[in-house]
Amino acid sequence: MAKRTGPTNPYHKQLIDLLNRKSIETQAPIWRTVADKLNKSRRAKVEVNLSDIERHAANGDVVVIPGIVLGSGDLSKSVNVAAWKFSTSAREKIKKAKGKVWTIEELAKENPKGTGIKILM
């Protein structure tokens, strides 16, 4: 019996492929790093709480999380966050703090060179 490797979600696979292509096209290594992190096994997936974003991001920062953003903690800064998935409470708290919620794909289209973006893991 063959073991399955890599993500099985078709959107997840497309996102990883898109980021790898974007990295080559724009010569921006940030997208390759994000794609590599998204391609990790389920046990190695990234989960970031809002308290971590509050601690490591400044007001107005653009942050990409190659995983899931969870709503534990509070966010008092206006931070623009892109991630694979958001919990409902995390999405609400980011918007309440006047931040912006993006998918990683939207951020890659908005900022193809990846300048000024922080990766949180």
Q: In terms of C-beta density within 10 A (0-12 exposed, 13-18 middle, 19 or more buried), how is residue 103 classed?
A: middle
Please check the confidence at residue 94 and state whether its pLDDT lies above 80. Answer: yes
Q: Which CATH number fits domain 10-119: 3.100.10.10, 3.40.50.2020, 3.40.309.10, 1.10.260.40?
A: 3.100.10.10
Average pLDDT over residues 74-98: 96
Domain boundaries, the chain: 10-119
Distance between CA 112 and CA 8 in Å, rounded? 26
Distance between CA 94 and CA 4 in Å, rounded? 35
CA 40, 36, 73, 110 dihedral sign is: negative
Percentage of residues of the chain with pLDDT beyond 70: 94
Please check the confidence at residue 3 and state whether its pLDDT lies above 90. Answer: no
- Mean pLDDT value across the chain: 92
Instruction: Give per-residue pLDDT as tens, 35-72.
Output: 999 988 878 889 999 999 999 999 999 999 999 999 99
pTM: 0.89
Q: What's the distance, CA 117 to chain centroid?
A: 10
